[in-house]
């Protein structure tokens, strides 16, 4: 049965800085994702704080928001069957040191804070996060 979903993916500043965007986009395409929407933006700290609001009580919140607003990012709506879970699998664990071989964070991530990609963690959050960046 088909279960087409869209999930929000972000290529984070550390990956853009190292010019990895085409490689990472090809990884998505080669794994069956269609890039349904895409834009390159540079968000403010305030926007990063809104986006990561679920983490506002975490000790790393301030650094995280400074980081996501530190340079350009590419935000994408990725579409395929089971896109949310499949993207999380393709990304790998939050900490690149713990990520499985072949995953994006293992291949491209530098550290837990510079882990190259974001992906929505549930279908509900995907809808909220897509709306955040692609308000119609
Ligand atoms: P996720 O990106 O795998 O969903 P989350 O727990 O939602 O991971 O955390 C959001 C982002 O916050 C991570 O991608 C990572 O960049 C950063 N982060 C998470 N945990 C830590 C930490 O312990 N120290 C520093 N940064 C962290
Ligand atoms: Mg998360």
Position 67 pLDDT exceeds 90: yes
Spot the catalytic one: 118, 119, 129, 130. Answer: 118
Instruction: Centre a 10 Å sphere on the Cβ of residue 51 and count the other Cβ atoms it contains.
Output: 22
Check residue 120 and give its pLDDT: 98
Average pLDDT of span 79-84? 98
Cα(102)–Cα(22) distance, rounded to whole angstroms?
Answer: 17
Please give the average per-residue pLDDT across 16-38, as a whole number.
Answer: 98
Across the range 115-120, mean pLDDT stands at 98
Cα distance between residue 88 and residue 39, in whole Å: 21
Query: Is the predicted pLDDT of residue 30 greater than 90, yes or no?
Result: yes
Domain enclosing residue 34, as ranges: 4-133
Structure tokens at 51: 């986006």
pLDDT band at 25 (very low <50, low <70, confident <90, very high): very high
Select from 49, 62, 94, 109 the residue to mutate for testing ligand 1; criterion: most ligand atoms less than 8 Å from CB.
94
pLDDT given at position 52: 98
Number of domains in the chain: 1
Average pLDDT, the chain: 98
Q: Could you give the CA distance from residue 93 to residue 91 in angstroms, rounded to a whole number?
A: 7
94 CA to centre of ligand 1 in angstroms: 6
Q: In this model, does residue 1 exceed pLDDT 90?
A: no
pTM of the model: 0.98
CA of 81 to the centre of ligand 2 (A): 20
Q: Angle CA(98)–CA(102)–CA(108) in degrees, nearest 5?
A: 70
Residue range 54-58: mean pLDDT, rounded: 98
Q: Nearest to residue 7, comparing CAs of 103, 92, 76, 90?
A: 76
Asked whether the predicted pLDDT for residue 41 surpasses 90, the reply is yes
Tell me whether residue 98 is exposed, middle or buried, using C-beta atoms within 10 angstroms of its C-beta: 0 to 12, 13 to 18, 19 or more. exposed
Write the CATH number for 90.
3.30.70.141
């Amino acid at each position: 049965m088909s279960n087409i979903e869209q999930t929000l993916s972000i290529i984070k500043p550390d990956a853009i800085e190292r010019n990895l965007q085409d490689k990472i986009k090809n990884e998505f395409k080669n794994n069956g994702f269609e890039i349904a929407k895409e834009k390159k933006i540079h968000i403010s700290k305030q926007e990063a704080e809104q986006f990561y609001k679920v983490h506002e009580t975490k000790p790393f919140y301030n650094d995280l928001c400074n980081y996501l607003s530190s340079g350009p990012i590419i935000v994408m709506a990725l579409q395929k069957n089971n896109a949310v879970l499949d993207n999380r699998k393709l990304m790998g664990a939050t900490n690149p040191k713990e990520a499985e071989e072949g995953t994006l964070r293992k291949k491209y991530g530098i550290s837990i804070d510079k882990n190259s990609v974001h992906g929505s963690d549930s279908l509900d959050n995907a809808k909220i996060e897509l709306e955040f960046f692609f308000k119609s």
